[in-house]
Amino acid sequence: MARKKIALVGAGMIGGTLAHLAAKKEMGDIVLFDIAEGIPQGKALDLSQCGPIEGFDARIMGTNSYTDIAGADVVIVTAGVPRKPGMSRDDLLGINLKVMKAVGEGIRDNCPDAFVICITNPLDAMVWALREFSGLPHNKVVGMAGVLDSARFATFLAWEFGVSVKDVNAFVLGGHGDTMVPVTSYTTISGIPVDDLVAMGKSSKANLDEIVKRTRGGGGEIVALLKTGSAYYAPATSAIAMAEAYLGDQKRILPCAAYVKGQYGLDGLYVGVPAVIGKDGIEEVIEIKLSDEEKANLKVSTDAVEELLEVCKGLDGDLA
């Protein structure tokens, strides 16, 4: 059987970490693409030299040419620029929208059968734009955010309750940003809802509220500490879990930015929802029951996503 091919578009902090994880897990051969000359080639060479020590045979190549991603089974996109001081959100949108155009066309022309995972921010708008520019089916293009946001939520909950992270099943819905909706009613520790654990006196409502707030600002907390960039270890680990679910037809239910067609009263946008990932990509969006408060919070979050999409459509005539 042919080895799988994993294309990583963007060879920055997340791209390099993705390559290392994919190689260690022998997920397939890896192509690191970037417009910066030398960076993908240098990282590929450095990572290849981990092989004899770690014992992996994955071939890792760096390139500046889209033709090298031909036939990729999975593409993970981190290409783009982060927001710099003095730059508005619209400025960033405009720049990364152009990047999504180049990347989407590169995927369309070279690996139209791939499963594509977008990580570039602003996530919910960029995954939508990437799908538009690539022309791939909606079920084959997805955004990574919910796995990371849920992992952050789960980490803080494990610390709060003094339990293993393995027993925490945390649930986050909505757009990736300050308006995301950590849903405590679906968040459990070994099947026990955290709200029940609070009622048992294992924590307090105030502490839980603080954890929800910290989860929403989880990315910003790391940016403030690093000062020169954003999180990359956990974002890369999250996208790898999604890629493995696709390659292994695992039918995992993972929170992802998936395309909604009527679910949650939403239509025609990408937003964080629980979805089944298997060999057909996003095989199903799961619609859960929400309380009135959770519905209202989700609306605030999806309104923010829709607002960004309108800006995207205004910035690029092709998308209007």
Residue from 6, 8, 12, 28 in contact with ligand A3D (CB under 6 A): 12
Report the residue from 145, 258, 260, 282 that binds ligand A3D according to the rule CB under 6 A: 145
Which phi and psi angles does 188 have, rounded to 5°? -130, 160
Distance between CA atoms of residues 17 and 25, nearest Å: 12
Which positions from 177 through 196 interact with ligand A3D, judged by CB under 6 A? Answer: none
- Residue 156 Ramachandran class (φ > 0 left, ψ -120 to 50 alpha, else beta): alpha
- Token couple for 170: 């945390």
Task: Say if residue 162 carries a ligand binding annotation.
Answer: no
The reply to whether 187 sits in an annotated binding site is no
Residue 36 near ligand A3D by CB under 6 A: yes
Compute the least distance from the CB of residue 100 to ligand A3D, in Å: 9
Of positions 48, 121, 134, 187, contacts ligand A3D by CB under 6 A = 121
From the list 6, 7, 8, 9, which residue makes contact with ligand A3D (rule: CB under 6 A)?
9
Q: Is 108 annotated as a binding residue?
A: no
| Residue 62 bridge partners (DSSP) | 32
231 touches ligand A3D by CB under 6 A: yes
DSSP classification of residue 49: T
Binding-site size, ligand A3D (CB under 6 A) = 33
Tell me if 3 is assigned to a ligand binding site. Answer: no
Given 5, 101, 140, 176, which residue is catalytic? 176
Contacts of 14 (CB under 8 A, 6+ apart): 78, 119, 232, 235, 236, 239
Q: Kindly state whether residue 301 participates in binding ligand A3D, applying the rule CB under 6 A.
A: no
Instruction: Report the C-alpha gap between 61 and 250 in whole angstroms.
Output: 28
Q: x-or-dash pattern for ligand A3D, window 79-108, by CB under 6 A?
A: xxxx----------------x--xx-----
Residue 176 in contact with ligand A3D, rule: CB under 6 A: yes
C-beta of 79 vs 136, nearer to ligand A3D: 79
Residue type present at position 132 = E
How far is the C-alpha of 271 from the C-alpha of 305, rounded, in Å?
A: 8
Q: For ligand A3D, which stretch binds (CB under 6 A), given 5-13, 167-175, 186-194, 275-283?
A: 5-13
Q: Give the nearer residue to ligand A3D in terms of CB position, either 11 or 142.
A: 11
Which of residues 74, 97, 129, 148 is near ligand A3D by CB under 6 A?
148
The residues, any chain, with a CB within 8 Å of residue 143's CB and separated by 6 or more, are: 117, 118, 119, 123, 124, 126, 127, 176, 256, 257, 258, 270, 272
Sheet strands (E) in 120-214: 141-143, 168-169, 172-173, 181-182, 188-189, 192-193
Mark whether 138 is an active-site residue.
no
Compute the least distance from the CB of residue 77 to ligand A3D, in Å: 8
Q: What are phi and psi of 277, to 5 degrees?
A: -110, 125
Question: Do the Cβ atoms of 11 and 34 come closer than 8 Å?
Answer: yes
Q: The sheet that has 74-77: what strands, in order across it? A: 60-63, 29-33, 5-9, 74-77, 115-118, 141-143, 252-261, 267-278, 281-285
Q: State which residue, 110 or 188, has the beta carbon closest to ligand A3D.
A: 110
Catalytic residue ranges: 176
Residues that bind ligand A3D (CB under 6 A): 9-15, 34-36, 39, 78-82, 99, 102-103, 119-121, 123, 144-145, 148, 176, 219, 229-232, 235
Annotated binding site for substrate: 83, 89, 121, 152
Annotated binding site for NAD(+): 10-15, 34, 96, 119-121
